[in-house]
Amino acid sequence: MAIRRNKKKNDETLVDIVEVKDSASDWVDANQKTIFGGLLGLILLVGGFLAYKQFVKAPKEKEAMNIMQAAQLQFERDSFALALTNPGNGGMGFLDIAQNYSGTAAGNLSNYYAGVAYLRLGKYDAAIDHLKSFSADGSVLPATKLGVIGDAYAEKNDLDSALSYYTKAAAAVGNEFTSSMYLKKVGLLNEKNQNWSAALAAYKQIKTKYPLSIDGNDIDKYISRVAAKM
């Protein structure tokens, strides 16, 4: 009886599949013009996008990168206020570039520069806003972005938020340098909060995963210090 029921169920399933296929085929036949029009529209859309990238976006990217050089120069000189608004030599500051060239790599990167500049100037809320507007990718920038936001919160004495961002930075795709650096900050903040077990866990992670890093070289003294307090 079970075999017959299964056979009947399989037959019904087969019928359902055939009906679906027939229904789909009928729909295609009845809507060929619509489908063809949609495909043509998609082709035109893709072609228009490629043309936009080649003739509009690419020149705008190059223009923005050239304009940004003056602001970058002031940033490298630690002239952060000038880098933000008035770098001279015909260039725009990072704030104007971020606004006028949004959607470009230069506009995006300007948000990062602006965030760091505001951090150095002691304007922590502005720093956080610009850093959060920065879209980071690659193997270093995602961790760096989160870590610098953590620095801004630490400067505001918002240690819970700082710890949260340092933890995210340590876990983000990064490298030996960034991961060990932010793990150490996680440990130090947990020490400040007298959360000895969490601090010890962070330090031990550095010792295990990144023993050859700068922070790994002397991590044993941090481990010993915390262990003595537990």
Residues of the chain scoring pLDDT < 50: 1-29, 31, 34-36, 38-40, 42-46, 48-53, 55-56
Residue 205 has a pLDDT of 95
How far apart (Å, rounded) are the C-alpha atoms in residues 21 and 58?
Answer: 45
Residue 215, classified by CB atoms within 10 Å of its CB into exposed (0-12), middle (13-18) or buried (19+), is buried
How far apart (Å, rounded) are the C-alpha atoms in residues 109 and 69?
Answer: 12
What structural domains does the chain harbor? 38-135 (no CATH), 137-230 (1.25.40.10)
Count Cβ atoms below 10 Å from residue 138 Cβ, excluding itself: 10
How far apart (Å, rounded) are the C-alpha atoms in residues 37 and 149?
Answer: 48
* Backbone phi and psi for residue 123, each to the nearest 5 degrees, phi listed first: -105, 85
Residue 11 has a pLDDT of 44
Residue 139 has a pLDDT of 74
pLDDT digits (tens, 9 = 90+) for 187-228: 999 999 999 999 999 999 999 999 999 999 999 999 999 999
Beta strands in 85-182 (DSSP E): none
Residue 170, classified by CB atoms within 10 Å of its CB into exposed (0-12), middle (13-18) or buried (19+), is buried
Residue 93 has a pLDDT of 93
